[in-house]
Amino acid sequence: SAQIADLQQKLLDADSGDRAKQCCDSISIATILEAKCALKYLLGELVSSKVQESKLQSSLEQSQASCSDMQKMLMEERNHIAELEAEFQNQILVQEQQHQEKVNCSSWK
């Protein structure tokens, strides 16, 4: 009994990595010790998954903020281009009017 209790304690204290995975990979859980081992492994996996989810969520939020900033910048650039284009069209119109005035003045002479 003492040896069994000692072995059980050693199993509980064992590294949760390989031992727990081996325990969890078995087809059936026959003892409470195996169930504890599997539970310990699954809880570790849950914590790991939650940490990864948190990191991915943070990355997603940063990407969304960056995308929003880029869309705002793109809209501002489009507006600026539209203003420049309107100004350019106005300059072309003024140049055409000046040219027409010169042509008209030349023909009267």
The pLDDT tens digits for 39-97 are 888 899 899 999 999 999 999 999 999 999 999 999 999 999 999 999 999 999 999 99
Task: Please tell me the distance from the alpha carbon of residue 105 to that of residue 1, in angstroms, as a whole number.
Answer: 121
CA distance 49 to 38: 16
pLDDT in tens, 26-51: 546 567 887 788 788 889 989 999 99
Q: Above 90 in pLDDT, residue 12?
A: no
Longest dimension (CA), the chain: 127
Instruction: Say if residues 6 and 33 touch (Cβ distance below 8 Å).
Output: no
In one-letter notation, the amino acid at residue 12 is: L
- Is 0.85 topped by the overall pTM? no
3-class state of residue 60 by DSSP = helix
Q: Tokens representing 75?
A: 């809209």
